[in-house]
Amino acid sequence: MKVIYPGTFDPITYGHLDIIKRALKIFDEVTIVLMNNPRKIPFFTLEERFEMTKKATEGFENMRIDIHQGLLVQYIKTHSAKTVIRGLRALEDFEYEFEMAMTNRQMCPDFEAIYLMTDLKYLFVSSSMVKEIAQFKGELSKWVPQVVEEGLRKKFQR
Ligand code: COA
């Protein structure tokens, strides 16, 4: 079975990578779809996120990366993989995911989503948190791969 993993990945963290590794053990192919979340102002451009995600997942087999601008259901309707995977950390994630899934299903009755529980280590990791740590030059190696750390440092130097 082929699944898609949509998100802003702004930037990709070890929390996201944990979900991808778990998904690759279960599904035949995982496509990471980099998108914009209209509720967030992106820090990295889609192209920068694409490059970082590509380098962070080097060596991962049966994985593809794509970019999509628009609704998630528009992507689903035009691609063979129809099932979405998402990571869950805490109860707040469930509420947000539930709202998104119900809205997506209203627009596309075929929409299905599968939720994977994140590793305990990454329960509190978020892209916002790593950006905040980077802004104040804190230690990042526990939360993001080196390529993301370099990307964050460069961006904050400008
Ligand atoms: N471990 C650690 N952190 C995790 C995680 C995990 N397993 N999974 C998610 N996170 C964090 C991320 O770091 C991110 O943190 P942030 O809020 O500080 O940025 C947050 O949880 C979720 O981000 P991410 O999974 O990267 O994407 P998103 O939730 O912003 O993505 C889209 C949402 C893009 C899928 C959604 O907005 C969308 O579908 N957009 C297109 C428009 C559309 O179709 N809208 C209709 C839907 S209602």
CB 49 within 8 A of CB 152: no
CATH of the domain at 151: 3.40.50.620
Ligand 1, residue 15: give the atom nearest the CA: 1
127, two tokens = 């892209």
When pLDDT is averaged across residues 23-46 and rounded to a whole number, the result is 96
Please choose, from the candidates 7, 10, 21, the residue with its C-alpha nearest in 3D space to the C-alpha of residue 121: 21
Per-residue pLDDT, 158? 75
Enumerate residues 6+ apart whose C-beta is below 8 A from 129.
Answer: 143
72 lines ligand 1 (CB under 6 A): yes
pLDDT at 20 > cutoff 90: yes
Quick check: is 68 catalytic?
no
Q: Which domain holds residue 10?
A: 2-157
40, 54, 153, 154: which one is catalytic? 40
Domain count along the chain: 1
When pLDDT is averaged across residues 69-77 and rounded to a whole number, the result is 96
When pLDDT is averaged across residues 65-91 and rounded to a whole number, the result is 94
Quick check: is 89 catalytic?
yes
- Looking at every residue in the chain, the average pLDDT score rounds to 95
88, two tokens = 């869950």
pLDDT in tens, 81-103: 889 999 999 888 899 999 999 99
37 lines ligand 1 (CB under 6 A): yes
